[in-house]
Chains A and B, each alone.
Chain A
Amino acid sequence: MVKSLDDRIAGAVVIVILLLCGAVAVFPLLYVLSVSITPFSEVLKNGGFILIPRAVTFDAYNKLLTESNIPRAFGVTVIVTVVGTILNLAITGLMAYPLSRRQLPGRSLFLMMVVFTLLFSGGIIPTYLVVKSLGLLDSIWAMILPNLVWSFNVLIMKSFYESLPEELFESARMDGAGEFRILWQIVVPLSVPVTLTIGLFYAVGHWNEFFQAIMYVTDRTLFPLQVIVREILVQTQQPLENAENMTPTQTLQMASVIMASLPIIVIYPFLQKHFTKGMLLGSVKG
């Protein structure tokens, strides 16, 4: 079919607007990156606008790695993310699988129990008191256990498991497999995309964890990355007496922002196709 002129103009307009949207999404981060590696005297000279730095310095990163709490916080965040995500997936799967089997006695009761928490919660104060009475305050577990299972993820996994053909389970049971074995050897391998998606959501949640840390943790050595970065961000600007030698606050702040977001930005493109698929699956089915 021959494209009309109108069609081609429309196509071009669409492309231009989309490119603009892409630029709006990326530009702020690129700017932050470039501020973090530009000597501050350059930043001042160019009136703040630099996208491709003319001179590059990693002073700010050096300083953060050697003189701040960032490396430690990085470690805390990595531990919380890895341990947390594994536990999240394990418990969510163990929850979703039985709920997806129609022969489970009391199924609707358990389901109600999960769904009701989406509607109502005790609120932050009573939850805090529970965490406190369990002696979890000021421990890494305080950032993992209170959010161990997201009800919404249980529902997504459950509806995925329900879509697996019933004959699969029957034949496995005929061959004498127990429920644990069915889950581990049949259901889990078949649900890699949905597991990856939900795992990614959990992992991002842990990586970005802020709320539980400020609620339950006062021990500075246990602060995760986001809390430390926020501290660095709200520090008031120091006067710049010697902009040539000192690493100014703004450069440090932006370097810390980059360090906290880099892992996500690096990993995310590889997982993107999985999670869009998984997300659609979950949202369309609900």
Chain B
Amino acid sequence: MLLPGVIYYIVFKYIPMYGVVIAFKDFNMSDGILLSPWADPWNKYFLQFFHSPYFTQLLTNTFLISVYKLIFGMAPPILMALLLNECRVRWLKSLIQTLTYMPHFLSWVIIYGILLALLSQSSGLVNQWIENAGGQSIPFLTSTSYFRSILVGSEIWQNLGWGAIIYLAAITGIDPTLYEAARSDGAGRLRMIWHITLPGIRSVIVMLLILNLGHLLDAGFEQIYIMYNIQVYAVADILDTWVFRTGLQQLNFSLASAVGLFKAAIGLVLVLASNKLAKRWGEGIW
């Protein structure tokens, strides 16, 4: 019964793990992985990457985009969950949930289309407003000063409702007698949120934060690849997009694999470390 799945894992997951040896070889297509000569010195492609001007740029971009997403993306779903929890009108609550979950299911291509409709310089809604108000149109999507905000903003938009699900679940798990006790002591809504609801979901918040730390180097390949353009490479190019371009478009397989391996190795350490942290923090949740 396991057979098809195991074959899948071996072929598409474990053989590629073996394939990373090409990071240490002068790989060429005709010789294949086994016959290509070893690179001299063995870490030639790593050195090449570390000494290239891309190194700092890619690392900075990857790190900054991730961290921004983490910092600014954390609070909105929590607030959303609190609001939904405070809403006493049943049908409204489920309607808003349905509406705010929806963007989660839209692809980045679709979201990019929406951004074009709203923000494009020539015909975007926002720029038409600015021009009607007598201002200068702003190249939101092609300017280095706005690009990261747009990445982060669109991610928040996409995940606002969806991210709230898990917090809502945690809120449901809070003992209702706590609220009754607080009410009879004369606590208002805000006090109850502050003293009961938030502490009640604190461990979930910390847990998600820690687990997200593990993915610090995954700034979101697909989103960035779809939205970026040559004008914003300086602020938008991350490890993954660079690996993709260098490897598959310029056919520099060994260099690209070396960078990919570098990323995967750091990612592994981050994930393991964050899981360890999470275990220490999250007794009884996972």
Contact = CB atoms under 8 A, between A and B. Distances in A.
Interface size class of B (residues with CB under 8 A): 35 or more
A110 B189 contact: no
Nearest to B118: A28
Interface string B260-286: 110110011001100000000000001
A52 interface: no
A120 B128 CA distance: 47
A29 to B, nearest CB: 7
A98 to B, nearest CB: 5
Nearest to A207: B107
A238 B261 CA distance: 43
A25 interface: yes
A97 interface: yes
Interface stretch (A59-67, A160-168, A226-234): A226-234
Given A25-B161, A32-B117, A272 B9 contact: no
17 contacts: A10-B86, A21-B160, A25-B100, A25-B103, A43-B123, A110-B2, A113-B14, A123-B257, A125-B247, A126-B15, A126-B19, A129-B22, A210-B109, A230-B226, A233-B116, A237-B122, A260-B110
Which of B1, B80, B189 counts the most A-chain CB atoms under 10 A from its CB? Answer: B1
Nearest to A134: B11
B16 interface: yes
Contact of B96 (A18, A260, A269): A18
B106 to A, nearest CB: 6
A123 B169 CA distance: 35
Interface of A: 6-7, 10-11, 14-15, 17-19, 21-22, 24-26, 28-29, 31-32, 35, 43, 47-49, 90-92, 94-95, 97-99, 110, 113-114, 117-130, 134, 145-146, 148-149, 154, 179-180, 183, 204, 207-208, 210-211, 214-215, 226, 229-230, 233-234, 237, 250, 253-254, 256-257, 260-261, 264-265, 268-269, 272, 276, 279-280, 283-284, 286
A208 B256 CA distance: 26
Contacts of A179: 1
Q: Which of B92, B98, B107, B165 has the most CB of A within 10 A?
A: B107
Contacts of B256: 124-125
B284 to A, nearest CB: 12
B134 interface: no
